[in-house]
Structure 1
Amino acid sequence: MSAKKSSSPRHSAVVLRESLSRLNRSLRSALPPIGATPSQLGVLGYLFRHGELTPTELAQQAGVRLQTLTRLLALIEAEGWATRHADVTDGRRQRLRLTTAGARLLTTYVHQREASLEASIAASLSTDEQRTLLEACALMDRLSARLQAAPASAEADPS
């Protein structure tokens, strides 16, 4: 592999995406089942971070169609992880709210993931490598901010 190819933005994007995917898969497989799917946990995470949302707002935040989200919301509500109530400003609209049980489930899951990562970092990385990892996290945060600020620029060129 040439130095030019290994330092190109395209190559960096591919390697980063693959690494993040591998890390997420490894985290999921390393943890015991928690009783919720990754999609359900994602919805609970949006509600945790953004507070009450309408189903339409939630679909927009998650980047999915409302029809796709409808069944998932029904399952989440049936489990008691979120509830619906009428919007105080427009009673025709429904708002979703994370319940205590949903917050507890999400918190447990996040703490398990963090503990798994912590153990892996402690066993695998030197102090210097841990500092490098934190620097890489700062770079990923910059990339994330850029993608959120200009989503159209993140679209891939099909050619």
Structure 2
Amino acid sequence: MPPEPASEPATAPDGAHASAPAVDLALAVDRLRGRLRQESGPAPSPWSRSQLAALRRVVSGPPCTTSGLAAAAYMRPQSMAQIVAALEEGALVTRHQDPADGRRILISATDSGREAVRSAPASREAWLARAVAEGLDDLDRDALPEVVRILERLADWAVPGTARRAPAAPR
């Protein structure tokens, strides 16, 4: 049974009251994330979900640094370095010097890495596609591109006057 929407404002870590819509949004995102995890089942590959997510970012974009990849995934650089090391050990990515700045090390996907992304099980995405097609009406489906745009903006938003934690895409 879905949780009841928040009727009282929640208290934020700084003592301020969070708005009910923000609390409801956080709960809904957590529930959807949990459902996606459940629908994807155990990974039938040697690669963790975190490793596959990082590999997808490398495959879909230009060569990037570990820190840029970590920032785009909202992870600590040390955690991403471990993920990249495992992908490199599995010959899914390579590291090479940036020709424009020899101090930077760039990460690129190998042919094996691109193939791993292509062949990764898509059960989670299949469930979501079916849920969108069969569980939403036309009005809700038409609103999804705007919802995605709003969620991306929220993910990249920073409190005015503070440094944003991560860029929208790896560098």
> Normalization by structure 2: what TM-score?
0.67
Amino acid at match of 2:33: N
**1:52-78, CA deviations, whole angstroms, 9 ceiling, x for partnerless residues?**
101222223223332222211111111
- Work out which of the residue numbers 138, 144, 153 in structure 1 matches 2:146: 138
Q: Residue 151 of structure 1 aligns to a residue in which SS?
A: coil
Q: Which protein has the bigger helix share?
A: 1
What displacement does 1:48 show? 3.0
Amino acid at match of 1:12: P
Distance 1:139 1:94 in 2: 36
Moved over 4 A (4+): 1-6
**1:2-30, CA deviations, whole angstroms, 9 ceiling, x for partnerless residues?**
99869xx8222222222222222222222
Distance 2:113 2:131 in 1: 27
Distance 2:27 2:142 in 1: 19
Counterpart check, 1:89 vs 2:100: yes
Count how many residue pairs are aligned between Structure 1 and Structure 2: 148
What displacement does 1:97 show? 0.5
Query: RMSD of the alignment, in Å?
Result: 3.2
Distance 2:145 2:126 in 1: 17
Query: Do the aligned partners of 1:86 and 1:94 also contact (CA within 8 Å) in 2?
Result: yes
**More relative contact order, 1 or 2 (CA 8 Å, 6+ apart):** 2
Amino acid at match of 1:10: S
Distance 2:135 2:64 in 1: 40
What displacement does 1:95 show? 0.7
Q: Per the alignment, do residues 34 and 11 of structure 1 end up closer, same or farther by CA in structure 2, a change over 3 Å counting?
A: farther
Counterpart check, 1:28 vs 2:37: yes
> Normalization by structure 1: what TM-score?
0.72
What displacement does 1:34 show? 3.8
Distance 2:7 2:101 in 1: 57
Flag structure 2 segments of 5+ consecutive residues without an equivalent. Answer: 10-17, 163-171
Corresponding residue of 1:152: 159
Q: Identity over aligned residues, as a percent? A: 25
Query: Do the aligned partners of 1:121 and 1:130 also contact (CA within 8 Å) in 2?
Result: no
Flag structure 1 segments of 5+ consecutive residues without an equivalent. Answer: none
